[in-house]
Amino acid sequence: MATAHLERQPLALPRLPPREGPTLEDVLSRAWEDLVAHRTATCPVCDGAMVPRYGSGPSAVGGRCGACRTELT
């Protein structure tokens, strides 16, 4: 039985341009900061209005988007 030796060529990946704009962490942090400050935030999913949600105390425990119903907790 003969054995074939194959050489693997390195995979050439395209060069990506530098990233621009906010990161996911930036978007979520900004929304959370608005919510805990009792302000309406921009929904990170649909850009709708996300309003603070409250638990049994005076502090916001998250938020809910009125447009897409996404929750941030």
Residues 26-48 as b/e (b if ≥16 CB within 10 A, e otherwise) read ebeeebbebbeeeeebebbeeeb
pTM for the structure as a whole: 0.70
| Of 1-5, 11-15, 46-50, the least confident | 1-5
Domain map (residue ranges) of the chain = 24-72
Residue 1's pLDDT is 63
Query: Which of 12 and 63 is assigned the larger pLDDT?
Result: 63
> 12-38 pLDDT, tens per residue?
888 878 888 999 999 999 999 999 999
